[in-house]
Structure 1
Amino acid sequence: MTAITVVCHQLAPRISDLDYNRALSESAIRGASGAQVIVLPELMQSGYAFDNRGEAHAASETDDGPTLSLWRALASELDIIIVAGFCERLSAGRVANSLALIQPAGRLTVYRKAHLWNREKLIFTPGTEPPPVVETKIGRVAAMICYDLELPEWVRLAALAGADLLCAPVNWPDGPRPADERPGEIVRVQANAGVNRMFIAACDRYGEERDINWVGGSTIVDANGYPLAGAVSHQREQRLVAQLPLAEARDKFISEHNHVHQDRRPGLY
C-alpha cells in the first residue's frame, strides 16, 4: 500500500445558496485533481445555521439530487474519492445532517450524523447507524461528522472496524479558550488518531454565518496523532495537502509488548 494524497479544502458555503455552494465545491474538487481523496466541510451543499427545520428542508436534497449527482460525476471524471456534507431530505418533512462518501466507480455511501450539536437537535433527525468503514482501492476509509469526533467510543468503532483513514467533514464553532491555546477540537482529533493508530482528515469551514464564527481549523494528522497539515486556526480558504502512508495504520503496536486495541480490557470498563 503506497502513500496516497489527501486534500482538505476549507471553504465558506453560503446558507441556502445551493447554486453557489455547488459551484464552490466543484472548483475545490477540480483543484484536487491528482489526489486520491478530497474532504469538504460539513453541510457543504447547504450551509449550516438554519433558523428552523422548514428552512433546512427547503435547502435539502435527496441522494440523487443535483449536488450529489455532480459529485458522483466528478469522482468518476477525476478518479477521486469525495467526502462532503449535505442536508439530506428524508420523508415527512424531516432532514438529516449527512455526508456522502463517493468512490470513482460511482459507489455512494451516505452517513447521517448520529450525535447532534446544540440547536441541530431542533432541526435534524439523528442517524442510527455506526460510522461506515468502506473498502476502497486505496484502503479502508471511514467517515463521520463533526461532533461525532467528540465521542471517543464512536471513533473507536471505526478504528476497530479496520479503518486506515477517517474522513470528517466538520463545522467547528469558535469559542473562548486560553491565550495561546489551540482549539480543543484539533487537540481531540490528534488524540483520537494517536490512541487508535489511524489517520484522520478533518475539514472545517471558515468565516461567519448568522453570528456564528468558525474555528477554521482543518487538519490532517498521522497515525501517531501528529499534524501533517493545518492544525491551527485560519480564517480563510485553505487547501491542505498531505501524503499518507496508510499501511502504517495497520500496525497497532506502540512498543514490543503494547497494541493499542489488543491491550483494551472492556470487561473492566
Structure 2
Amino acid sequence: MPNEPTAPETPETRHVRVRCHELAPQLGQLSANLTMIEDAIRAAVIDEVDLLVLPELSTSGYYLRGKDEATSCAIPIAHPILERWAGLLSPNMTVVVGICESRDEALFNTAVTLGSGGVLGVYRKTHLWDGELTIFTAGQDRPAVTETPVGRLGVLICYDLEFPEMPRFLAVGGAEMIAVPTNWPLVPKPSGEHAPEVIQAMAAARSSRVAIACCDRRGAELHNEWTQGSSIIGSDGWPTGTLSGDRVDALLAIDPHRTTISPRNNVIQDRRPALY
C-alpha cells in the first residue's frame, strides 16, 4: 500500500489500510453487479486492505427508472451473497458496500458493513436526494458506531454528509472513522478546486477530528456523469493516499488522542450544546 500517514502520531497510534474502489454498476443488472462487487472484494483481500469502501447502490446503479426496476434488483439483508462476501474476508478486514435493499414492502438505499463473521451493521440512508424520494423509504434510525476489526466505524451515505450534524453525531459517539458510500453527480466548480462534496468531507473530518473515507463511482449512467471524487481524509482534514485507476488507497493513522488539539482544548469535550 503506498503513501505515508499525514496526521501526527503518538505511541498509541495504529494504522489502517483503506481503499475506496470506484465501481461502475450496470443499471438494473443485479447479477453483473454482484460479480463486479465480488471481484473488488477479492482484489482487496489479495492486497491486504483493512477497510474497503464501495459506492452507494453498487448492486443496482443509481438512476433507477421507477420502483419496478429498483425492485427487480433489490436484495434483503438475509441474502446469501452477503454471507458469501463475508466468507471471503480475512479476520482483520471490513467492507462497507451500498445496496438496494428490499425489506417487507419497502425499498431502502442501504449500506451494509461486513466482517469475516457476517453482517456487522446496517445503515439506511436518512436524507434522500431528488429522485430517490420516489423510490426509497428514508431510514428512521440514527447512524450507529459499530465495533469492527478496523476500529469504531460510523457509516453515512452520500447526501447525509451534507448535514454537519451527522458526522458530528458519529464522532461524539466515538467513531474513529466514517465510511461514506456515495454517488456524486458531476457539478461545476472553479478551476483547481476540490469538488464541493470533498470540501464538505474535509471540513467534517477536521472539525470533529475523525477520518472519513468517501467512495464515489465512475462511468456515466443515462447520460449522467459522476464526480469520481473518492477521497480518504485523515482526522486532520487533509486528503491522503494515492489514486491508481479506479482505486484510492491510503494508510490512515488513527490516534486515540486526535480530538485533543492543544494542551487545553478537545474538540469533543469543548462542545457547549446547551447554547446551540
TM bucket (normalised to shorter chain) is over 0.9
Does 1:242 pair with 2:229?
A: no
Superimposed CA distance per residue, residues 51-87 of structure 1 (whole angstroms, 9 cap, x where no aligned partner): 1122111110001224323322223x57521100000
C-alpha distance in 2 between matches for 1:104 and 1:239 = 22
Does 1:197 pair with 2:209?
A: yes
Match of 1:259 in 2: 266
Percent identical pairs in the alignment equals 39
C-alpha distance in 1 between matches for 2:209 and 2:256 = 5
TM-score (structure 2 length as normaliser): 0.90
C-alpha distance in 2 between matches for 1:184 and 1:83 = 23
TM-score (structure 1 length as normaliser): 0.92
CA contact (8 A) 2:111 2:157 kept: yes
Instruction: Give the length in aligned residue pairs.
Output: 262
Per the TM alignment, residue 250 of structure 1 is displaced from its structure 2 partner at its CA by: 4.1
Does 1:114 pair with 2:122?
A: no
C-alpha distance in 1 between matches for 2:168 and 2:22 = 26
The within-5 A match list for 1:97-136 is 97-136=109-148
C-alpha distance in 2 between matches for 1:85 and 1:210 = 20
Bigger relative contact order, structure 1 or 2 (CA pairs below 8 A, ≥6 apart): 2
C-alpha distance in 2 between matches for 1:66 and 1:105 = 13
Does 1:158 pair with 2:170?
A: yes
1:97 is paired with a residue whose SS is strand
Superimposed CA distance per residue, residues 94-136 of structure 1 (whole angstroms, 9 cap, x where no aligned partner): 2000011011222431110000111111110000111121112
Match of 2:5 in 1: none
CA contact (8 A) 1:199 1:249 kept: no
Superimposed CA distance per residue, residues 2-33 of structure 1 (whole angstroms, 9 cap, x where no aligned partner): 21211111111111111211111111111112
2:241 is paired with a residue whose SS is strand
Give me the CA root mean square deviation: 1.7
- After superposition, the Cα gap between the structure-2 partners of 1:49 and 1:78, relative to the gap in structure 1 and judged at 3 Å, is farther
Per the TM alignment, residue 229 of structure 1 is displaced from its structure 2 partner at its CA by: 2.4
CA contact (8 A) 1:9 1:240 kept: yes
Q: List structure 1 runs of 4+ shifted beyond 3 angstroms.
A: none
Amino acid at match of 1:45: T
CA contact (8 A) 2:218 2:227 kept: yes
C-alpha distance in 2 between matches for 1:180 and 1:117 = 27
Match of 2:193 in 1: 181
CA contact (8 A) 1:12 1:207 kept: yes
